[in-house]
Structures are given as structure tokens and as C-alpha cells.
Amino acid sequence: MEVTAPLPDYSHRARRNVVVLILAQAILGAQMPMIFTVGGLAGQMLSPNPCWATLPISMIVLGSMLTATPLSSLMGRFGRRAGFWIGTSGGAAGGAVGALGLWYGSFPLFLLGSLLTGIYMSAQGFYRFAAADTATEAFRPKAISWVMAGGLASAIIGPQLVKVTAEAMPVAFLGTYLGVIVINFVGAGLFLFLDIPRPPRPAEGSSSGRSRAEMLRDPTIVVAMICAMVSYALMNLVMTSTPLAVVGCGFDKGDAADIVSAHVLAMFIPSFFTGHLIARFGAPKIVGIGLVILAGAGAVALSGVALEQFFVALILLGVGWNFGFIGATTLLSSAHAPEERGRIQGINDLVVFGGVTMASLASGGLMNCSGTSVVAGWQAVNIAMLPFLVLAGGSLIWLVLRPRD
């Protein structure tokens, strides 16, 4: 049972929680590369219009955006464990409904399953915040970074499961969605070992922290949210179209799974040292480096469509996301008080996943409907990164150079 008052020994408890969250990221997180690998291909198979091929991915992100604020409020009231169990329930339900959509060949039913999967994606987004809940200020960036590093295992497990399950049933990809159900049931047991206190209720007459409007006037919070949104949205924009581009350029589904695997590995391997880099150089510098690497990913993708170029572009995309997103998360965590976390974390994920939703919606249209060929569509996807990189980079430079009070 979760307690409502903090215990004195934060070091032992924080490390135990980090271990639980690393395992959750590794086991439960495997479903995300599985779904992102096959979701667009399944959508292309079921949708009546090729421009809607990535709509299932968009529905996942939309579900995540819609549930971010309610989940944050629920965790503030009932604790992290309750919210994470709701996430696994949503993941299992999404896998089941998605499997039914594939079985009956129903695109609307498949989209409904994708929307339910967004509940899990939203809950997974709070793993990084949960890692910071019981951590000291010095341990916080490392805790966030290590939990994100748990995705390293998911990057290996997920795509390999796709190879085993994608053609295992009479209907393509049905086995993959049945595997997602099993993953959620197995992973839910991990949260029995989570020990994060609920935020203490403020005493009568004491401050409950700033209002949402006041926090949104804080330059550090605003810039952190912009950089997190841009890092995540651009990563999603390109990754969502990658399997379509790879297969469309004549390579097979196994190649697409290997490229996604390399990408997800690149997303999480840097997490072993990202926290140390943030602690040494500061979050703004690491976010800036991440944005530069994302720009490099776009440049490599525009240079050609050989298999090696897909690999290099997606690896750079993963590393850039890691630096940009973890750096922005750390920047946000340092800019609010504990009693404010429920309000600002929900708003942050609403903004982040709102941007990701728009990116995933745009991805299919840019890929399939913006040019006369697969190559032209792939180029359009990567050119679309530029204005958003300018937005995030400009806001970060403004934050660093602005006069301090």
C-alpha cells in the first residue's frame, strides 16, 4: 500500500524505484516499437486511402494526449501505481481491439484499438517523472536518464518480437497485437514493488504552489515544453514514415524492423551518460546539442535512400531525441515545486503529445500524398523538420541569453 508521507531514506527508496521503472520501461516499453513498426504497415493494409496509412499511429498519440492530464491528476490523488496500472489496462485493451480489427479487416475498429493503446503510451511518459519523485536534486538527472535507458532492452525485444509474430498468424500482424496483450499482463506485476508516496496534501492555509497560468508565464517551463515537444514530434514524424519508406524503396519488412530497432537503441543507449552530461554541462546545452543532431538526421535522410542512409539517419534521430527530450524533462523538473508537479506535468505531456499527434498525422500525408514517388515523400517528411528546429533552437537561445532577475 502506498503511503502518504515521505520516508527519511530517499537514497535507498529512489534507487529501488529506478530499478522497477527501468524494468517497466524494458518490458512494457517493448510494445511501442512493436506497434510503431507494424502500425503504419497495418494501416496501409486496412485503410481505404494510402494517405491515412499512419492514422493508427496518430490515434495512439491522440489517445496519449487526451489522457495525459487526467492521468496526471489521478496520480496526484491516488499515486503513481494506480496510474501505471490504468496504463497497462489500456495497453492490453488496445492490443485486443487492434487484433479484432485485423481479424475482421475493420479499419475503424483498428483505429479504436490504437486510441486505447494511447492510454499506455501516456502512462509510460510518466515513468521519467516518477523516477524524479523520490530522488535528490543531485540524483534526479541520473534517475531520469537511467529509467529512459531501460528502453534499450525494449529496443531489442520489440522489433525481434515483430519478426517472430508479424507473419505467425493467418492474418498479417495479428500475432504482434496478441503479443502486446501478453506483455501488458506480465509487466503490470512490476508496479507492486513501486514505492512512491503520494504528494502530501498542503496544510490548511499553506501554499499549494502556483496556478497553471502562473507556471505558464515561467520562461524556463515554457522553453522546456517547446523543446520537449519539438524533439518528440520530429522524432515521431520521421520514425512513423520510416517503415513505409524502407518497404517502398524495395527493402523488406525485416529491414524495416532492423532500422527501427537501431533507432530505438540509439534513443536509449545515450541515457547511460546523458544524466552525467546534464549534471556537468547543464540541461540547456544538452538540449541544444540534441537539436543539432536532429538536424543532422534530416540532412542524412535527404542525401539518399540506400539502406545505410536509413540506418544512419534513424540512429542520429534517436540520439537527438534522447538529448533533446531528457534535457528538456530535466529542465522542467527543476522549474517547479513538488506540490506543482501534478499540474505542470499534465500540461507538459498535453503539449508534447499534442505536437506529436500533429506530426504523426502529417507523416502519412507527407509520405504518401505529397509527391509522385516514395523518395519525394520521404524528402518532404525530412524537409518538414526545419521550421520546428528553428522554433526550438530560437527559444532555447532566448532563454540562455535573457537577463536574469
On whether residue 1 sits in a domain, the answer given is no
On whether residue 5 sits in a domain, the answer given is no
Q: How far apart are CA 116 and CA 37, in angstroms?
A: 18
Range(s) of the domain holding residue 328: 10-196+212-401
On whether residue 207 sits in a domain, the answer given is no
* pLDDT of 405: 58
Closest CA to 239 of 30, 29, 63, 35: 35
The string of DSSP codes covering 89-146 is HHHHHHHHHHHHHHHHT-HHHHHHHHHHHHHHHHHHHTHHHHHHHT--TTTHHHHHHH
* pLDDT of 69: 80
* pLDDT of 8: 40
On whether residue 158 sits in a domain, the answer given is yes
Report how many domains make up the chain. 1
On whether residue 2 sits in a domain, the answer given is no
On whether residue 351 sits in a domain, the answer given is yes
pTM for this structure? 0.72
Q: How far apart are CA 175 and CA 3, in angstroms?
A: 40
On whether residue 204 sits in a domain, the answer given is no
Instruction: Identify the three-state secondary structure at position 329.
Output: helix
On whether residue 267 sits in a domain, the answer given is yes
* pLDDT of 6: 45
Alpha-helical segments (H) within 9-79: 10-27, 31-46, 55-78
Which parts of the chain have pLDDT scores under 50? 1-9
| Average pLDDT over the chain, rounded to an integer | 85
